[in-house]
A and B are shown apart, each in its own frame.
Chain A
Amino acid sequence: MHGIAAWFRHLHETTGINLTIAYDPFDRARFLHGLLVTLELSVITIVGSVLVGLIGAWLQGARLVWTRRIVQVYIQLFRNTPPLVQMFFFYFGLSSVLPTMKNSFGIQEPLVSGFGWACISLIFFAGAFNVEIFRSGIEAIPSSTIEAAEALGYTRLQTYLNVVLPLATRVCLPALTNNLVNLIKTTTLAYAIAVPELLYVSNQIWSDSVNVPEMMVVLLVIYTALVGLLVAAMKAWERALRRPGLGT
């Protein structure tokens, strides 16, 4: 560890490539924290948006017209407006309407933090796409399969959980992967509402150490790696779920 730090310091002195995150403990600490926040944000929003997608797709098959309509309005509103404006709308607009509460120091603070609003807005944004993706997967299932489940005495929820969902998952995994990749990239928007995620801390670091090019390259490499990891994991899952004879 010490040797690595010394080497990067040497690199800075000889070539001018200044990677402070490798030898400066303060920069390293905040960079790692930023990475952690990005990971948290990614994991929470991925899980949340998939849940929203599943619930939404189930509600879209409901018998009540109004349930379907409400889900449809939600999808259209969140798909067709810029995610940044959505985030501002939540963070500035809605949080100004919500009450504040006192924290342990007796200071008034908003009910939901910036991180919370970032999670909420990203979950709703990506969730809207997920509903459509799952719905397309569900529609791909032949109605005879569902009728067969019905004939066997499954209830609507049971059919959904045990028959429709396992089959639909296999159909819509490629599209889902694509949307989740998009979601990871969209977590950078939390920068705009001062959530200390990777882009935000990198901005702080390059403002302090004046090493914009180095940090930019580090950022791009890390995001590419994150996306690569997700794609690899989803591909592995896709392979594990593959059943010969189903689909292509």
Chain B
Amino acid sequence: MTARVLPVMPPLPKVLRRDAPLPRLRLSLWHGVALAGFVVLTAMAADAATEPAPRAGVLAVLVRWSPLLLRGFGFNILISFMAMAIGTVLGAFLGLGLVSLRRPARALAWVLTEFFRNAPWLVLLFFMIYMLPFRIQIGPLSIALPDWVKAVIGLGLPVMANVAEVMRGAVQSIHPGQWEAAESLGFSRNQQLWQIILPQCIKRMIPPWMNLYAILVMGTTLASIVGVNDVVTLAGQVQAAEGGRTDLLVPLYGYVLLLFFIYCYPIARLTQRLERRYAVRI
């Protein structure tokens, strides 16, 4: 690459060059089998370790509480969907800011992106839980903001920053010749971006975007710390409801781990497939 600066794409600030691919997910079915086996084994071990008292077996407890735990997990999924939607929409705007030609817009977008990428998710979550009002009054309309909605917003913000990064990375990965060719064909800057560059970017953005989603799904467990009744909170409550039996802890949390694995595994596989497919063509 020569050091020549293209008139259409100014060099980004040095700090932004931190090419920061998100941690990748690579799962295989075998891991799920191992995890399931682990849950059953620990359940049986816990059963064997306790003398036959008049209480339910660990597996029976897991089965009995499954509907509740699954509902809690469904709540996690709901939170992740909504946070991903908010984060993607806002992140797309922020990403456009990052590749903007106007310096102030780029600087503002850069500050926002770096701030929300570098602040811990949990602190952002706390920030939203405490700083947002529990009720918003817009004229005659009053909208209640329960904790889980605040959690969605709190999780959506770091997602936004990461989506913006993904978008910037995709735009940067397009060969500069594409910009030059579009320029020479007389496309305006906006046309270049919307008709030439972004359509090529979408394909490249999908795998990291899905990877981000899998990370977000795991991040939703943080909501349990700020008082949302998600699957982790429920696991704790199930243990308490069973009389605080300590032998339940390992199987219960193992069960939660398994639930997340079952959900993330197909996503990870699909991401891998898409990555492989898109890696070939430029």
Contact = CB atoms under 8 A, between A and B. Distances in A.
Interface of A: 73, 76-77, 79-86, 88-89, 92-94, 96-97, 129, 132, 174-175, 177-179, 181-182, 184-189, 191-192, 199, 203, 206, 212-213, 216, 219-220, 223-224, 227-228, 231
Helix, strand, loop or mixed for chain B's interface?
helix
Interface stretch (B91-99, B113-121, B176-184, B190-198): B113-121
A15 B18 CA distance: 40
Contact of A80 (B118, B126, B254, B264): B264
B253 A97 contact: no
Contact of B119 (A80, A97, A212, A220): A220
B152 interface: no
Contact of A82 (B34, B127, B221): B221
B86 interface: no
A83 B122 CA distance: 12
B64 interface: no
Contact of A84 (B20, B24, B225, B250): B225
Contacts of B214: 80
Interface in B11-60: 18-21, 23-28, 31, 34-35
Contacts, number: 123
Contact of A227 (B23, B118, B257, B264): B118
Nearest to B46: A97
A178 to B, nearest CB: 4
Contact of A174 (B18, B34, B118, B219): B18
A73 B23 contact: no
B192 to A, nearest CB: 27
Nearest to B223: A84
B218 A188 contact: no
Contacts of A184: 120
B25 A79 contact: yes
26 contacts: A79-B25, A81-B218, A82-B218, A82-B257, A84-B225, A85-B253, A85-B257, A88-B232, A89-B250, A89-B254, A92-B253, A93-B253, A94-B250, A132-B24, A174-B18, A185-B120, A189-B122, A189-B222, A191-B225, A216-B123, A216-B127, A216-B130, A220-B115, A220-B119, A223-B119, A224-B118
B172 interface: no
A82 B115 CA distance: 23
Contact of A77 (B35, B119, B130, B246): B35
3 nearest CB pairs, A to B: A185-B120, A82-B218, A93-B250
Contacts of A223: 118-120, 123
Given A81-B218, A93-B250, A216 B261 contact: no
Contact of B249 (A82, A83, A92, A182): A92
Nearest to A213: B131
